[in-house]
Amino acid sequence: MMKLRLTALSFLQFFIWGSWLITIGAFWFKTKQWGPDQFGVIFSTMGISALFMPAIAGILSDRFINAEKLYGVLHLLGGIGLFLVPSAQSPDEMFWRILVTMIFYMPTISMSNTVMYAILSRDKSIDVVKVFPPIRVWGTVGFIVALWTVSLTGHETDAFQFYLGGAVSFVLGVYAFTLPACPPLGKNLERKSWVEALGLNAFKMLKDRYYAVFFLFALLLGAALQLTNAYGDVFLHDFDGNPAYADTLAVKYPAIVSSLAQISETLFILAIPFFMKRFGIKQVMLISMVAWVLRFGLFAFGNPGDGLWMILLSCIIYGMAFDFFNISGSLFIEKSVEPSIRASAQGLFTMMVNGVGAVLGSRVSGWMIEHYFTHYTTNAEGQSIPHLDWSGIWLSFAGYSAVVAILFLMLFRERKVQAQ
């Protein structure tokens, strides 16, 4: 019964995100009719909020507040934020509303793991490495269901997507208060310093070269994840200006084609226990990095016509690229970090992936694309029209991922660490 309840939590957690994350671009360009120059800042809100909120939430749930209660409050506040997003009257106003919403939502990603791990770990007969992935896979299913709901009902360009996400956020917020209590495990420990008193012990992990290198590459892979989130759907939409592809599946239903990546996630999540036990965290993360190279490389040569198979294969490979560092990294922390700082460590991992990595990925890639892969033409009305060299963009991303993989192979030395 408890596994079923946690499955529902996982489903709703990512249903909220899937309702608008992929389709917000269509709302921005088609409904609001705002320009592309400020669109990138919308995705930076996720990175900005992840710089500090997951760590703060982790500290609070480690030291002061029951994790399930804090988790519920954050979702209730996030629901209010989503309801307010569509009424923004300018790009700047939209930025601030999305930022506030993300401040409440981003920490719930790591906190959902914390709550599920805490509840599952109470049953000593449960192997968390085996049991968690089949539960987490329903989060991906929730993302897909939300995306398909918005797309197939014709709401990719209107405010419904935000109202749907906000309503589900309210439901999950209330539901969280019905879960078993997850009290702060570090609350009664002897405090020897202000660092321990504030629950900042997780940051001391960075003094250990083993963990420092792990978190560094989590950051670098987080940048790769931001690249595909920011530009994948825009890449497919860009083909709608080419008459040769106007009636193709990828141009008519880009969100559904993109959802193949999330469908792939559901399969690779289930393979994680096998790969983690057989190969260890280093090999699993290395596989992820190679998958990122293939993900971007296939996009570089794909198109909605005779190259559709490359786009579809790229989406399938995305599942391995994402799961083998995101989910495996979370499990690695759960199994190797002491319980008193586990929630803080999960928050630190989310901060590196969705915070520092996302901000660097969006900022650096935006500058690079503008300076090296964009050229302008002038139309009959004298307007300057930008054209993106997508092949060059994706090949540069593939090259970045290849360099990260080589450095990781050279620098990361795996060791067996088991939390007591």
Tens of pLDDT, residue by residue over 372-394, are 887 877 767 776 666 778 899 89
Angstrom distance (rounded) from CA 39 to CA 176:
33
| Domains held by the chain: number | 1
Angstrom distance (rounded) from CA 159 to CA 87:
9
What amino acid occupies position 40?
Answer: G
Provide the 8-state DSSP code for 68. H
Decide if 37 is inside a domain: yes
Which range has the worst mean pLDDT, 36-50, 145-159, 237-251, 380-394? 36-50
Decide if 420 is inside a domain: no
pTM of the shown model:
0.73
| Section 93-101 average pLDDT | 92
Which range has the worst mean pLDDT, 80-89, 124-133, 153-162, 196-205? 196-205
Decide if 50 is inside a domain: yes
Between 302 and 36, the more confident residue is 302
Whether the Cβ atoms of residue 172 and residue 75 lie closer than 8 Å to each other: yes
The mean pLDDT value of the chain amounts to 82
Decide if 245 is inside a domain: yes
**pLDDT value at position 169?**
96
Predicted confidence (pLDDT) at residue 16 exceeds the cutoff of 70? yes
Decide if 417 is inside a domain: no
Provide the 8-state DSSP code for 355. I
**pLDDT value at position 35?**
61
**pLDDT value at position 420?**
42
Q: Which domain holds residue 112?
A: 2-185+194-411
Q: Which of 7, 54, 25 is nearest to 351 (CA)?
A: 54
CATH code: domain of residue 8:
1.20.1250.20
**pLDDT value at position 190?**
52
| Section 341-369 average pLDDT | 77
Three-state secondary-structure class, residue 345:
helix
Whether the Cβ atoms of residue 99 and residue 37 lie closer than 8 Å to each other: no
Work out the pLDDT band at 102, boundaries 50, 70, 90: very high
Number of other CB atoms surrounding residue 289 within 10 Å: 24
Angstrom distance (rounded) from CA 184 to CA 58:
10
Which tens digits make up the pLDDT trace of 118-164? 887 777 777 776 777 788 888 888 998 998 898 888 787 788 999 99
Decide if 416 is inside a domain: no
Contacts of 36 (CB under 8 A, 6+ apart): 29, 386
Angstrom distance (rounded) from CA 331 to CA 271:
13
Provide the 8-state DSSP code for 159. T
**pLDDT value at position 164?**
95
Decide if 418 is inside a domain: no
Residues facing 385 on adjacent strands: 377
**pLDDT value at position 415?**
66
Decide if 286 is inside a domain: yes
| Section 304-328 average pLDDT | 88
**pLDDT value at position 166?**
95
